[in-house]
Structure 1
Amino acid sequence: MEKIAQVVFIENGTAHIKVARASACGDNCASCGSQCTDEGHVLKVKDEGYFPGQLLTVTTKDVNVLLYSMVAYGIPLLVMIIASLLAYNFIAWGNREIVSSAIGVLSLVVSFYILRTVDKKIFKHNDIIESISPYRGE
């Protein structure tokens, strides 16, 4: 997948590159009724002769993007379903439906903190980037 990015500034040999986030309204947020403020995402990469304002083409590894999406959305959903089913089958007190639903929601909160810890320790933010090259206007 290719995205157009712009160098925001360079500091201590690190280039800060702003990449627009994909949104439902595409590139024309003014025509959309959702009133979102799309700030974009800033990548920090090694400066390779970039200058502020320069447009770049960022190519990402599609396999890693799909893997991260599966980890971010699939694992919490799976944990919630398993926790709810286990709670429903093994709890013999109170209203089983409400208790198992509450445990399912609680498992979502727990999986959020687990994923946040895993993201900081294991996943590198730049391992989805395949290449960065100057934008040629294609």
Structure 2
Amino acid sequence: MDQVGFVRKVSNGKVEVEVRRISACGDNCKSCGGSCHAPNHVVILPNNIDAKVGDLVEIKGETKNILKYTMVVYMIPFTMLILGILIGMKTFKNLEISNYEPLSFLIGLVFMALGYFIVKTIDKKIGKKEEDIIRMTRII
């Protein structure tokens, strides 16, 4: 995955880079007619190429790693939601509670919140690693 970003801020060996997101239609809004707007995304990266504020930089990331971490972010909370609903349904059915569906859904939401906590913990561990998933390669 290659992107071009705009350096907004430089501090403590890190840079804040604004990257334009690519819309699903390929940014050809005249042919799409959906009039969607893809907002910019800000990432903080190590300043390994001595970029300055206002520079345009090339950003590269391995697609395999990006997809892997995307799956973690989306699938852990979703799996926890489904697991919580199933556990809640089985438990409340066995307890012979008549309105077990809404209660099971609430249990699912609690499990999903737990999933987000797990994702946050994984994110902190990944953030401490020295290997960069996304890195700047050159100033354009």
Q: Match for residue 139 of structure 2?
A: 134
For residue 98 of structure 1, report the CA deviation from its aligned partner: 1.5
1:100 aligns with 2:104: yes
Contact 1:61 1:130 in 2 (8 A): no
1:124 aligns with 2:127: yes
How far apart are the structure 2 equivalents of 1:111 and 1:69? 14
The 1:131–1:12 alpha-carbon spacing in structure 2 relative to 1, beyond 3 Å, is: closer
Which has a greater percent of helix?
2
Q: In the alignment, what sits opposite 2:118? A: 114
Structure-1 separation of matches of 2:10 and 2:122: 29
1:16 matched residue in structure 2 = 16
CA distance in 2, matches of 1:33, 1:24: 12
Does 1:68 pair with 2:69? yes
> What per-residue deviation string (whole Å, max 9, x for no partner) do you get for residues 30-55 of structure 1?
x7545x57242132322533232221
**In structure 2, what is the equivalent of residue 59 of structure 1?**
60
Question: After TM superposition, where is structure 1 displaced by more than 6 Å over at least 4 residues in a row?
Answer: none
The verdict on how the C-alpha distance between 1:51 and 1:104 changes in structure 2, with shifts beyond 3 A counting, is same
Name stretches of at least 5 consecutive residues in structure 1 with no aligned partner.
none
User: What TM-score results when the alignment is normalised by the length of structure 1?
Assistant: 0.76
Structure 1 vs Structure 2: percent identity of aligned residues?
29
Q: Which residues of structure 2 form unaligned runs of 5+?
A: none
By how many angstroms is 1:68 displaced?
A: 1.0
- Distance in structure 2 (CA, Å) of the matches to 1:49 and 1:130: 12
